[in-house]
Structure 1
Amino acid sequence: MFALVAAVLFVLALIFEIAGLAVGSVITATTLGTAGLLCVALHLMGVGAGWTPLKR
């Protein structure tokens, strides 16, 4: 799931960079790229990879 989110963030970052867009001073192409790298790191760590039922 995090890999899909990262891909979307990277596409948005590319569009922002090509078009020279920014949403305020907070959301820029660099911010989206950093968020994408965070999602890739979480994906590689295995976070959100699966759900296991609680055993009782």
Structure 2
Amino acid sequence: MLAIGAAIVFVLALLLDLADVSSDALDYQTLVTLGLLLLALHLAGVGTSTNWRPRRYSRRRR
């Protein structure tokens, strides 16, 4: 999910850069930094689902 979020942020940054939109709070560099942060978190494994319950192995009768 974080990789999808990073892709969306990068698309928004590209659109803002192409449209030459400038704002004090939200600019191209801020969005690129946010996208890189989300991508780094994704590569670090944050947000991955892990099953902490023990697995029960059942033996079949033959």
TM-score (norm 2): 0.77
What number of residue pairs does the alignment pair up?
Answer: 54
**Aligned residue number for residue 11 of structure 1:** 11
Unaligned runs of 5+ in 2: 55-62
- The residue type equivalent to 2:2 in the other structure is F
TM-score (norm 1): 0.85
**Segments ≥4 residues shifted beyond 3 Å:** none
Unaligned runs of 5+ in 1: none
Question: Which structure: greater helix fraction?
Answer: 1
Cα RMSD for the two superposed structures: 1.5
1:2-44 Cα shifts (integer Å, max 9, x gaps): 000000000000000000113x301001100100000000000
Q: Which has the larger radius of gyration?
A: 2
Q: CA deviation at 1:52?
A: 2.7
